[in-house]
Structure 1
Amino acid sequence: MLKEPQAGGEGCPTLRQAGYAFGGDTGCIAEARDHAGEFLARARAEQGLEVSSRATELTRLVVSELVTNACKYAPGPVLMELGITETAIEVVVWDSDPNAPAARTTDPSRIGRHGLEIVKAVTQMLDVERQAVGKRVSARIALRDTQP
């Protein structure tokens, strides 16, 4: 579902916004990644926005990690909202678990559980906000490889 443009991150208006609901099963992770890729492709085609290949792949990665965490740690549905401004892509994921995720200390011998570390490394902003039910995790990714 598309929503009307609203104020986006850093004072930029949101040019396109879409929301998605998933059942919370593991299949929704690939579905969420696909929606993110399609969302960015539409932004390029319909609005002429310059979206780098790197931004597309980072967005798909961030969506994958955030939705994976929601499916793994929170029972029930997962909601995702994507928004795009002239400079950034906003990814928001809601789930039913009120506990904030925490990045672990660096441990090169650890297998897995590096998702939040990766998300923090590739985003301009990562925010976790407790909600009346569950939490809202927001991330911002630069739209282009270098900002003007």
Structure 2
Amino acid sequence: METMSVNVATGHSTACIADARKSAWAFLSRLVPPMTQTAAETVVLVVSELVTNALRHAGGTCTLDLTAHTGGIEVAVHDTSPQPPRMRTPDLNSGTGGFGWPMINRLADATRVTYLPTGGKTVSALLPC
């Protein structure tokens, strides 16, 4: 089982999100056997959405953990907010979002929110290889 942890910088910068995607691609490129391109793109999309949500809604800092399991990749994002992700109607007009969490739940085999004893939470998604 291969694991990797990436600290994602404080702030709402798109550079932080791009760095998380690059780290995910680097992690996925080392897997043996390799994932299909489509499965890898799905993992990177979920990384991007979870990191974006943590930076935007959970205090502006997070840690990304990627773990390769037999049959799946776990994407886990740890942040300092106790507030869980929430389902909401996507905003089609004013661009305030609402697409990420429902999409993650559709793409993942399973999602989970775990509250940390030190405060904050981990939001994780298990994606098929």
Q: TM-score, normalized by length of structure 1? A: 0.78
Distance in 1 between the 2:123 and 2:94 partners? 24
Give 1:1-148 correspondences, 5 Å limit. Answer: 15-25=1-11, 26=13, 27-43=15-31, 48-105=32-89, 111=95, 112-131=97-116, 132-143=118-129
The C-alpha deviation readout for 1:14-58, integer Å capped at 9, x for no partner, is x10010112222221110011111100011xxxx21411111101
User: Does structure 1 conserve the Cα–Cα contact (< 8 Å) formed by 2:63 and 2:78?
Assistant: yes
Distance in 1 between the 2:18 and 2:106 partners? 22
User: Does structure 2 conserve the Cα–Cα contact (< 8 Å) formed by 1:49 and 1:86?
Assistant: no
More moved, 30-39 vs 105-114: 105-114
Distance in 1 between the 2:50 and 2:27 partners? 17
> What's the offset of the Cα at 1:126?
0.6
More moved, 125-134 vs 58-67: 125-134
- The DSSP-based 3-state class of the residue aligned with 1:82 is strand
RMSD: 1.6
List runs of 5+ in structure 2 lacking aligned partners: none
- The DSSP-based 3-state class of the residue aligned with 1:137 is strand
- The DSSP-based 3-state class of the residue aligned with 2:75 is strand
Q: Judging changes above 3 Å, is the alpha-carbon distance between structure 1 residues 75 and 106 closer, same or farther for their aligned structure 2 residues?
A: closer
> What's the offset of the Cα at 1:115?
0.5
The C-alpha deviation readout for 1:49-106, integer Å capped at 9, x for no partner, is 1411111101110000000011001224310100002200000000011100111146
> What's the offset of the Cα at 1:108?
5.6
User: Does structure 2 conserve the Cα–Cα contact (< 8 Å) formed by 1:24 and 1:70?
Assistant: no
Distance in 2 between the 1:58 and 1:81 partners? 16
Q: TM-score, normalized by length of structure 2? A: 0.89
Equivalent pairs counted in the alignment come to 125
Distance in 1 between the 2:71 and 2:10 partners? 30
Q: Which of structures 1 and 2 has the bigger CA Rg?
A: 1
Distance in 2 between the 1:142 and 1:35 partners? 19
The one-letter code sitting in structure 2 at the alignment partner of 1:115 is G
